Structure 1
Amino acid sequence: MLAEIKGLNEECGVFGVWGHEKAAELTYYGLHSLQHRGQEGAGIAVSDQETVNIHKDTGLVAEVFQNGQLKDLKGTAAIGHVRYATAGGGGYENVQPLHFRSQTGSMALAHNGNLVNATALKHQLENQGSIFQTTSDTEVLAHLIKRSGFSTLKDQLKNALSMVKGAYAFLLLTEDSLMVALDPHGLRPLSIGLLGDAYVIASETCALDIVGAKHERDVQPGELLVINNDGITSERFAYNANRAMCSMEYIYFSRPDSNIDGINVHSARKSMGKQLASEAPIEADVVTGVPDSSISAAIGYAEQSQIPYELGLIKNRYVGRTFIQPSQELREQGVKMKLSAVRKIVEGKRVVMVDDSIVRGTTSRRIVNMLREAGATEVHVRISAPPIKNPCFYGIDTSTTEELMASKHSIEEMREIIGADSLYFISEEGLVNAIGRPFENGGQCMACFTGKYPTEIYPDTAHPHEKVTC
């Protein structure tokens, strides 16, 4: 479903280049392909081996760089960032990359994820004299780096990473190196590519494809990469953590043309749809998916059930960012502006509506009503994720249990509230099988469904809406 409408948002996307004369331009195109991961701010930092320069602002990538700013970003190395602002987290100061200057040089930092112990670390650092310029978790890492007693930046970074907990994919750019780190559980995707002799780092493989880079491998959990003019080196800063890739990357966040750990996202979603059809068959005339992320699952459901797939819902792609707003009133209005039912397809038909999740339930109710108003005689809702009952503390905007419909209502109550003739969520076991990543072989984080978090949850994360991720 539409992230900006229904309140389920990935926080950030990161992209980096080392060793290419058009590093800024490549990063621009990479960020553009990652725009779905964050629409509230964008920025690029570039190194020319002597200085680090940066341009960033609130808005979409094309808006931030619409006045020729790329021409001023000269250099052969760059990192970029797109972000989604959580409640209270807007404003220029929180847009990344964050840029820090000191007597030993400059450092730009970009982060995808959320540090669950950021508030505790921030209090500790402030008591030791640190002054924070943003409300971003990311700034905590910079202070930890500068307060480290080690002599090299690599050792300073390793020491800082040993102190932060949660989900993170970090890119750190200095005048003479690009450093890359992924949290010990690998909660966020991060890939390495090659473009000629240049190294490319991206949150998703679709961004590698857009710039013509060849995917080499994924960054491993607990891995630290250092890329400079001597090449690339890899070492571990953490071991022995259970792999826990966020399952919502497969269900919803990542683009269908991306691959995560060798698994194509479209194929995984299609398998989810097939699993849904096996678990919850229904007599119907057409299957339709809620654009865009549910289309693959809807195709899978149609193939397995042998019910025709049709475009029963159409997304209006020309609605501006006016409707990317956190307020419930604008969110509900956004549904009307963003989606419309195709009357000639659904009129007089029994419709299976496939969607990827239900968060608050408001949008699902409106879409079901939309299909009925267009003449559907029955609307059967099938969800390719289990019920979301628990908040996420790792960088997804589901901040409190009270916001989550499934935490307060039974499935039958949810069915009545959204007005569907039937409602079924994929089983947890079915989801694992569809994705193809068994828990025992380095599986995925399903804490929002199960309440079992891969890391310790610190007291300050009980109210994540009070701080800003990324």
Structure 2
Amino acid sequence: MCGIVGVVSKSPVNQLLYDSLLLLQHRGQDAAGIATANGSSFFMHKGNGMVRDVFRTRNMRDLPGNIGIGQVRYPTAGSASSAEEAQPFYVNAPFGVLLAHNGNLTNSPQLRDEMFRIDRRHINTKSDTEVLLNVLAHELQRASTGYSLDPDALFKAVRGVHRRARGSYAVVSLIAGYGMLGFRDPYGIRPLCIGRNETESGTEWMLASESVALENIGFEFVRDVAPGEAIFVDLDGNLSARQCAEAPTLSPCIFEYVYLARPDSVLDGVPVYDVRLRMGDYLAERIKKELPAGAIDVVMPIPDSSRPAAMQVAAKLGVEYREGFFKNRYVGRTFIMPGQAVRKKSVRQKLNAMGVEFKGRNVLIVDDSIVRGTTSQEIVQMARDAGASKVYFASAAPPVRFPNVYGIDMPTRGELVAHGRTDEEVAAIIGADALIYQRVDDMVQAVRDINPELSRFDASCFNGEYVTGDITADYLDSLERAKQLPNGLELNGAAGTGATEPVQNQLHLQMPVE
């Protein structure tokens, strides 16, 4: 999971990109980067840390131009501690290409091998984004005739990417002297949408992971990019769009609605907030079947993403809704923090249980999901320490029993508390008196109640069904083996990433434009 944005404007875009990345900060807090184009030159600044830490006034001054892309990074492939793997990535041939990516390639090792043996391209990092960039660059070289590019050649290149790349990818890219290219994988697993702004000087265009990044900047939401579709905006603001996949099938990641996306975003025609309310309705019906009437005195959410579901649960059960946990807003989202030790330590820094709301009461705690169980265990203990008589726990999502290979950091089955365990066993591990999970069918129906046209989802972390059709048990085994470095450290662990000073990487790239 990452956040990406791209803009073709009639005025300088550096501040607009910065503000957009702030609105997408929830999608990645490990690293941030912005690249702009001004004439024949690219300008880029990126580093480890959150947006406000990576960019200073002097950095913003060094990002001129009316076209640019940006990314906030959440590491799922490569090394989280390496500033070199912050995005965007750059390759100088052909033409000069910059690229930022949200998602995860499932055939990255195969593509790396092809890059070396067939395409004669060198991959310098462990990031699958650099692999994807080189695949695109190679396909651009094959599709172009002579020294120029046109939309037909660009879309032909994207078709080549779709034929070779597997997994999830939403992409924004700059091509020196030509414009901005964006595209979405044939399954539309990761989100990407289009925004427009009419000015006296002409039309401005924006691509972003979520609609909130468009609308809060002042752009009008136009539509979502279709699965397999490519969008090209030239330097004059002319937009072209074409379907580039042979058999596109919209199968968005349902975990976006559960947790990843902001509640004020709309993804594939579905308001995220409305989905979370509906999940609360279905969860309440499940709770009625699992717990006796009168067992619950009060319903409490874990702020912020579970609030809508918890409100609906309380309303449907006819039980008081209270805010018993106070959130420290200056601590990041624990789920996307790399490394189990960092996540566990940050739970009590992030939340504080107010004893006046817990003492002597039977409390139902509602969370959006339970992944590793560490956070849930800490929360249950906090409620007991605050004086709760009984602590029930409800998850607005079903049990996470399988790894997600499409851009969420759940790479090993052993890390998932629900894998191979019953609900009762998980309840015992987290210390709850009872545990109630949402059902997969109800979760899916909560989305389809709002947009019935959505018939298929990637719900692989819940049901083990991988929509790309290329994930096997051997593949998952290889992921788990690769998770550990020879010295036993986590590949994605990034120990100290959040505690160290950002590593700045200022680049000024200049190339001729034919």
**TM-score (normalised: structure 2):** 0.85
2:321 corresponds to 1:309 = yes
2:85 corresponds to 1:85 = no
Q: How does 1:19-418 map to 2 (within 5 A)?
A: 19-86=9-76, 88-102=79-93, 104-128=94-118, 129-148=120-139, 149-151=142-144, 152=149, 154=154, 155-175=156-176, 176-196=178-198, 197-228=203-234, 229=236, 231-281=238-288, 282=291, 283-319=295-331, 326-418=338-430
Task: Give the match for residue 501 of structure 2.
Answer: none
Contact residue 52 and residue 174 of structure 1 kept, 8 A: no
Aligned mate of 1:457, from 461, 471, 478: 471
Contact residue 141 and residue 161 of structure 1 kept, 8 A: no
| Change over 3 Å in CA distance of 1:322–1:71 after alignment to 2 | farther
Structure 2 gaps, min length 5: 484-490, 493-514
- SS of 1:416's equivalent in the other structure is helix
- SS of 2:259's equivalent in the other structure is helix
- SS of 2:96's equivalent in the other structure is strand
Shift of 1:420: 0.9
Shift of 1:126: 1.8
Q: Deviations over 1:9-44 (max 9, x none)?
A: xx2110111123131211111100100100011011
AA matched with 1:203:
S
Q: Structure 2 CA distance, aligned partners of 1:32 and 1:461?
A: 34
The 10-residue stretch of structure 1 (328-337 or 208-217) with the greater mean CA deviation from structure 2: 328-337
| Change over 3 Å in CA distance of 1:320–1:138 after alignment to 2 | closer
The 10-residue stretch of structure 1 (122-131 or 18-27) with the greater mean CA deviation from structure 2: 122-131
RMSD: 2.2
Q: Structure 2 CA distance, aligned partners of 1:286 and 1:225?
A: 49
Contact residue 89 and residue 133 of structure 2 kept, 8 A: no
Q: Structure 1 CA distance, aligned partners of 2:179 and 2:371?
A: 41
The 10-residue stretch of structure 1 (126-135 or 161-170) with the greater mean CA deviation from structure 2: 126-135
| Change over 3 Å in CA distance of 1:431–1:319 after alignment to 2 | closer
Shift of 1:150: 2.0
Size of the alignment, in residue pairs? 458
Q: Structure 1 CA distance, aligned partners of 2:254 and 2:334?
A: 30
| Change over 3 Å in CA distance of 1:272–1:324 after alignment to 2 | closer
Q: Structure 1 CA distance, aligned partners of 2:88 and 2:135?
A: 17
- SS of 1:245's equivalent in the other structure is coil
| Change over 3 Å in CA distance of 1:160–1:330 after alignment to 2 | closer
Contact residue 3 and residue 24 of structure 2 kept, 8 A: yes
Task: Give the match for residue 448 of structure 2.
Answer: 436
Percent pairwise identity: 38
Shift of 1:240: 2.4
